[in-house]
Structures are given as C-alpha cells and as structure tokens.
Amino acid sequence: MEKVLMKGNEAIGAAAIKAGCRYFFGYPITPQNEVPEYMAKELPKHGGVFLQAESEVAAINMVYGAAGAGARVMTSSSSPGLALKQEGLTYIAACELPCLVVNVVRGGPGLGGIQPAQSDYYQATRGGGNGDYKLIVLAPASLQELTDMVQEAFDLADYYRNPVMVLADGMIGQMMEPVAFGEIPQWTLPEKNWATTGTDGDRAPNVINSLFLAPEELEALNIRLQAKYQTIKANETRCEIYQLEDAEIVFTAYGTTARIVKNAIKILKAEGIKAGLIRPMTLWPFPEAAYQALPKTVKCILSVEMSCGQMVDDVRLAVESKVPVAFYGRSGGMIPTVDDIVAEAKQLLGR
Amino acid sequence: MLNEKIICAGFGGQGVMSMGMLITYAGMLEGKQVSWLPSYGVEMRGGTANCNVIVAEDAIGAPTVSNDATTAMVMNLPSLKKFENDLLKGGKLFINSSLIDVKSSREDIDVYYIPANEIAVSIGSGKVANLVMLGAYVAATNVVSIDSVKKALRKVFGASKEKMMPLNEAALQRGCDLVG
C-alpha cells in the first residue's frame, strides 16, 4: 500500500470521502481549518456538497437534516465550536441518526487558545447536551489510526444509528505523518428504512422527532437507547494494552499523550523500572475491563492527560480503589514532556 | 540509533515549511519513521515560520522538538536567536550567511555557514535558497540520501513544477558541494 504524507486534518477529509461521506457542514475554527478547506476543494469532485454555514449551530442542524434524509454526513470543529453544537448533538442522538463529528481539541475553558489539549473529554463522553444520551467516542493516537477510525466511524454510526465522535487534538490535526488508505472491512449495514426520503404515496411517512410529551413514550425511548448503549458497550469497547506484564506502574493515556508516554516507558525500562500502558481507543464506551485485569505487580496507575484531570475519573471508577490512581497533566496547550512523565513516575514509586 | 530532531526556521516565504516537508518525505521513502509539525498560531505576514521534523528508527512520540534538537537550519537572524540554544551538545547548526551576518555563540556544536541566497541567485533564482540549505544538510548529516530528496521534490511540489526540477536539483547539488 503506497503511503502518502498528509496533515492530520487533510487525512480526516480524505478518509471521510473514501468512506462515502458526501455532505459536510461546518464553520471555521483553528486548529481544524484544513478539514473544511480540504472538503471545500474535494467534495464537489465526488458529487458531494460542502457548505460553510453561518454558525456552528446552523452547521450541526444541517447535519441533523442530512442524516435524517439518510445521507453520509459529517461536521468538524474545535472545542468552543463543539460547545455550540451540543444542542444539535443531543437531538441527533435522541432521533438515533448516524453522523460523524470530529473535534480537533484546543485548550479551554472559554474561547481558550489554539494549541493542542485534551480538556474536552467530559464534553465528549458526558455530553454537553441534555438528557441520557451517548456518543461513540474514538480517540486516535496516530494519523494512520485517525484515517482508519474516520472511515470506520461512518459504518459504526450507520450500524448503531448513533452519532460517532472522533476526538483528536491540535497536534494530530496539524502534524504530518505517512498514511496509507487501505481497504478497511466494510460492515453489513441495515437499510435506512427510517429515513425521510419521501413516501411517493406508497407508505406511511417516516417521522424524525425528539419531542415526547407523554412520559411513558419518552421513557420507552430511553429504555430503547440504554439497551442499545449496552450492546455498543459489549461489542465496541477498544483499547491497546502495552507492556503490562510485570509492570510496577501502569500509565493510562489516550491520543497524543499516549505516544509521549510510550517514550517515557522506554526510558524507565532502560533504568530498570517496568512500566506499561493502557490506551483507551474508545473513550465511550470506556475500556473498564482492562483496569480490572491488572497484574499483581502493579503498585499504582498514573493517568497522563493534556487536561486538569478528566479521564482519570473514569479510571478511578474502573479500578474500584483496588490500586492507587494518580494524575499528571498539563493544560492550556502545554504538552507533557517525556522527562516530566518519567520524573512523575519515579516520584510515585519512591525511586 | 537514528533519532534526528530538526528545527527549520525563517520568515514566511523562505520555504522553511517545504524544506522540512522534503526531509520528512525523503525519510518516509526510505522506510524511516517520520513526522512534521508546523508552528501554528497568531502568525503575521512577514513574521517567523518554523517546523519540527523528526526522522527516527523507532516510533515517534511527541512530534515536537523543543530543547532537544539535533539539527537547526536558520534562514534569518530572528530564527538564529530563537533556536540556537535549543540544540543539544554536538548538534548541527546551519546558518544562512547571506542574510545573517553574525556568528553562532555556541562552541559545543558544529556550525555551517551557507551563503544560501547568494548561491541560489547565482544559479538562477533566490527562491531556491532553501534547497541550497537542504543540500548542505543532506551532505553533512546523511540522515536521508540526496536521491530520496530528489524523489521527494516531485512528491511535495507536484508534477506541474517539473520544469523547475533542473534548477531545484542544481540548488541541492550546490549545497551538497559546499559541505561534502
């Protein structure tokens, strides 16, 4: 497979088009601007539509409409832009519509900065919108994984009729790495017989709606959604387990941070300290089981994030107090260094 | 083990981003692990531009180069001042002596003074000064081969720039000759 050198943001666009996405609605924001730039240039060549909406709120509602009509559709944005899209996302989740949402995360809170961060973990996994809903959240650590995840995201979304989020960061969006666009396995997907494509007078109309004034009806929707979320949890939880055997300390990190942690593990190993890594590849569903099957040698877990401590909450819930869980993070666009991580680990182990 | 960490810096328009991209592409063609990361931020026209490139045997962690650079290529004076101290001991510093009339203050690194703009102008266009620097870099470090860089030229600049290739290759060669 021939490799090409691409920017992460361009790889997102290329992968989406390869996966059959033909509609993109968005609004500019750094550091994800190369996604709409690429889509504006390339989508029309594939018979698709690129539209720069008047706001993020408009863009996500255009996604809602296109998804309701059964189209493969996506939007991308960065942190404050995603904050604006939360209302649309809960509607899309309630109506069980498939779409891809990419967040190239930058530092917050507020308008924040434009450098890489992971401080939208809560926003992505808890939902900034109202009600009991979940997005499937994928967290790539390399541009190859980003490319593969973006392609698969559309199948996941269609299969489960659920919005999927790819949670990247400014570093993944801006950097260039070799990527290969291989044939990824295609899912067998159900027909979209729920889509609002017009009845031609032949059938009862399909209705897409998230307003249920009768509590019995609304609870029935919630029961159905929760059952679906349980199925997703059982089938789609993914993580990478790295050098866990005999480990004294287990790092846990996702995305960019996991790459830096792997370099720290190598340095610790050279100094005789055995360290491993649990890298969640899905942030929801969270790979809880990985934290319950730790080797007896593990003295502590260290969650490393580009945030002030968000994923560490899920780690603590998963570990159920069996092992101490510590946190190390940088924020605001600062990136943890290998040396910082090594020092933190040694201090925890009393070395 | 190869773990080359490069800073390419200059002002916008000097081709520092493509200089870094060419090394990255050449490394990829040779089957090495590579990454390229641009500075992005509140840049202004005529302001400084820089990129970080890593070429390594092992998988690359953070694609950033901070105070652990093995090579810096600086095309203008502000870049020299900004990045000179980010080089590790024993690192290599390439200074565009056409535009930078001061010497490096470091004594624990190898410094190459390359009159990149003068050479570029003498062979036909000041625009290829970045490739003169790149040629010197390749000859001095052998991190990637000159053949791979020539292949990368076509990938990075595209087929439409084929008519520029003789000049591009001449610029690379002149840079090589200066050091090799």
pLDDT confidence of A201, banded at 50, 70, 90? very high
**Whether residue A208 has pLDDT greater than 80:** yes
* pLDDT above 70: residue B34: yes
* Confidence band, pLDDT 50/70/90 cuts, at residue A350: very high
pLDDT of residue B47: 75
Average pLDDT taken over every residue of chain B? 94
- Mean pLDDT for the stretch of residues A213-240: 98
pLDDT tens, B123-179?
Answer: 999 999 999 999 999 999 999 999 999 999 998 998 788 889 999 999 999 999 999
Q: Which DSSP state fits B12?
A: T
* Prior bond of A31 cis (ω within 30°): yes
A contact set with B (CB within 8 A):
3, 5, 30-31, 114-115, 170-171, 174-178, 256, 259-264, 266, 335, 337-338
* In chain A, % of residues over pLDDT 90: 97
Report the 10 Å Cβ neighbour count for A151.
Answer: 24
Is pLDDT at B42 greater than 80 in this prediction? no
Closest Cβ opposite residue B34 in set A30, A177, A263: A177
| Average of per-residue pLDDT across A20-38 | 97
Name the residue of chain B whose CA is nearest to A174's CA.
B37
pLDDT of residue B91: 98
A331: CB partners within 8 A, 6+ apart: A107, A117, A119, A306, A307, A308
Residue B20, min C-alpha distance to chain A (Å): 11
Using 50, 70 and 90 to split pLDDT, how confident is the model at A104?
A: very high
pLDDT in tens, A163-192: 999 999 999 999 999 999 988 888 999 999
In this prediction, residue B44 has a pLDDT band, given cuts at 50, 70 and 90, of low
Query: Residue A204 CA to chain centroid, in angstroms?
Result: 36
How would residue A22 be classed by pLDDT, with cut points 50, 70 and 90?
very high
What's the average model confidence in pLDDT over A103-113?
97
CATH number, span A4-236: 3.40.50.970
Partners of A5 on chain B (C-beta within 8 Å) are: 21, 24-25, 28, 34, 36, 155
Rounded-to-integer distance, Cα A149 and Cα A283, Å: 13
Q: Are B171 and B132 in contact (CB under 8 A)?
A: yes
Per-residue pLDDT tens digits for B93-116: 999 999 999 999 999 999 999 999
CATH number of the structural domain B3-179: 3.40.920.10
Domain boundaries, chain A: 4-236, 240-349
Cβ within 8 Å, pair B21-A174: no
Chain A nearest C-alpha distance from B64 (Å): 9
Identify the three-state secondary structure at position B87: strand
Confidence of residue B48 (pLDDT cuts 50, 70, 90): confident
How confident is the prediction for chain A on average, in pLDDT? 97
SS3 call for B49: strand
What is the topology classification, in CATH, of domain A240-349?
Rossmann fold (3.40.50)
Q: What is the pLDDT of residues A140-166, one digit of tens each?
A: 999 999 999 999 999 999 999 999 999
Q: With pLDDT > 70 as the criterion, what percentage of chain A qualifies?
A: 100
Q: Tell me, yes or no, if the two domains A4-236 and A240-349 fold the same way.
A: yes
Confidence of residue A262 (pLDDT cuts 50, 70, 90): very high
φ, ψ of residue A321 in degrees (nearest 5): 65, 15
Contact B109, B161 (CB under 8 A): no
Residue B37 distance to chain A (closest CA, Å):
4
Per-residue pLDDT tens digits for A266-290: 999 999 999 999 999 999 999 999 9
Which strands make up the sheet holding A282-284, listed edge to edge? A49-52, A23-26, A73-77, A99-105, A163-169, A136-138, A282-284
What is the value of ipTM here, to two decimals?
A: 0.92
Pairing of strands A275-280, A239-242: antiparallel
Yes or no, beta carbons of A5 and B40 under 8 Å apart: no
Extents of the domains making up chain B: 3-179
Are the C-beta atoms of residues B56 and B4 closer than 8 Å to each other? yes
pLDDT band at B13 (very low <50, low <70, confident <90, very high): confident
